[in-house]
Structure 1
């Protein structure tokens, strides 16, 4: 099982070579990329290779995949990315009803067909808005996965918690579709806490042992991804996350 760090967590702690040195020092296999890592993919690949790190999966903007998918494929190949993941919708781009989410799911299914035909995996990454009911009580995440039945899912467990959901419910419901998980914890009263309300794994309010027991049973799970959306201390985040992860994995 691959242990990765989402590079968005390090956006305020560049330069990238120093970030990657910290990633390697803390025992990670590699990283999960995002747009800031794609400006010069050849150079970034060299930085990874020099440290024995990989980038097996990366986040790609939905707009790019719809209007310039060839560039996404080129970036992915240069960086060694095997799975292309759509990570986010701007507030103005989010559907407001069941029909809108279903239509988005059909768009994703069309993109996914192109992606898989090129030999890549394809997945969606959630935030909290996909877990907020729309008219009739439907949850957008359910609608997306139904409309795009071949699409995999990267579950952000921190956002599941923030939306008031229970990770075990979702891990049970879509066990066959989940290919990776973002793991991050919450502080008490997260909406008013420092660091965006997020906490390092094992240093927040959630009980993780039952979740890790479930993760061990997921048949398609390929990667555990460390993330903290706004760490005050990047080295502390990596050290604590890695220590807690190894303890929970045991």
Structure 2
């Protein structure tokens, strides 16, 4: 059974304010087995605290975030400039997976641009494989965009970069219009990491009703269609009792709870609710 972990992006403010180790202690108390590091710099201080968490708390570091090129928007260490440091961090923390959170926007504008980006990634994915680390690509809804030849963006990535595996964000697959079970089946064997977050449709906002009543149909319609939220696991429409076993069958080794926006709630409370739901269905 895959570990239930947390995407530390949810707690980046808490890490900055309180330090990494106290955050890990709180997660351990919530029955969280692993973490994925994103949007948190891999400084010596944070790396040492993660190492302490591995040793003293038994929390695994399931994956670290990297960028392809230096200066990328993510702020993560880059494979281009920091390969040796990244590999040293992996070995120090016993990390077997790295993940690229998103390709640059300019790589999404055409099939040729996507192919060019994937071709740059492939040598690093192959090199990391030789060094015992699997590089994964994290999808968003845009990665389900189809080019004229019928290939989705992530189809192009898989074709051009066969050593690059996937971190499947099931919420974004759903938002992109593909059934998550279909995605897992189509990419069985290369779905190594899974982002577990729910897909909530909120109630119709009064603003939409008021605009339509006032005759501002299109303005009201925009408010009507944009009622999707990121949700605590179990508080949306995703079919987790089927999705989690299917993810394991597809090759998943880590599940990371993630909620991009918590809408004013304390992220610890959101994580606790998600973890308790997963426990209630046998995970």
Same fold (TM over 0.5): yes
**Whole-Å Cα distance in 1 between the matches of residues 242 and 258 of structure 2?**
20
Q: Which residue of 1 aligns with 2:139?
A: 126
Q: Which residue of 2 aligns with 1:75?
A: 89
Could you tell me which runs of 5 or more consecutive residues in structure 1 were left unpaired when the two chains were aligned: none
Deviations 1:83-133 (A, max 9, x none): 111112343x43311111122222121111111122212211112221122
**Whole-Å Cα distance in 2 between the matches of residues 36 and 213 of structure 1?**
30
Alpha-carbon deviation of 1:35? 4.6
Q: Which residue of 2 aligns with 1:7?
A: 8
Q: Secondary structure of 1:197's partner?
A: strand
Structure 1 residues 189 and 142: alpha-carbon distance in aligned structure 2, compared to 1, 3 A threshold: farther
Instruction: Say how many residue pairs are matched.
Output: 246
Could you tell me which runs of 5 or more consecutive residues in structure 2 were left unpaired when the two chains were aligned: 70-77, 204-224
Structure 1 residues 233 and 192: alpha-carbon distance in aligned structure 2, compared to 1, 3 A threshold: farther
Alpha-carbon deviation of 1:52? 2.1
Q: Which residue of 1 aligns with 2:67?
A: 61
**Whole-Å Cα distance in 1 between the matches of residues 175 and 120 of structure 2?**
27
Give the alignment partner of residue 24 of structure 2, picking from 20, 24, 34: 20
Alpha-carbon deviation of 1:20? 1.2
- Report whether the alignment pairs 1:84 with 2:116: no
Structure 1 residues 204 and 238: alpha-carbon distance in aligned structure 2, compared to 1, 3 A threshold: same
Under a length normalisation based on structure 2, what TM-score does the superposition of the two structures give? Answer: 0.79
Under a length normalisation based on structure 1, what TM-score does the superposition of the two structures give? Answer: 0.89
User: Within 5 A, what are the aligned runs for 1:96-175?
Assistant: 96-175=109-188
Contact 2:107 2:117 in 1 (8 A): no
Alpha-carbon deviation of 1:65? 0.7
Q: Which residue of 1 aligns with 2:206?
A: none
Q: Secondary structure of 2:14's partner?
A: coil
Alpha-carbon deviation of 1:185? 0.7
Give the alignment partner of residue 180 of structure 1, picking from 174, 179, 193: 193
**Whole-Å Cα distance in 1 between the matches of residues 150 and 110 of structure 2?**
10
Q: Secondary structure of 1:187's partner?
A: strand
**Whole-Å Cα distance in 1 between the matches of residues 93 and 248 of structure 2?**
28
User: Within 5 A, what are the aligned runs for 1:149-228?
Assistant: 149-189=162-202, 192=226, 197-218=229-250, 220-228=251-259
Structure 1 residues 71 and 48: alpha-carbon distance in aligned structure 2, compared to 1, 3 A threshold: same
Q: Secondary structure of 1:228's partner?
A: coil
Q: Secondary structure of 1:36's partner?
A: coil
Q: Which residue of 1 aligns with 2:219?
A: none
Alpha-carbon deviation of 1:230? 2.1
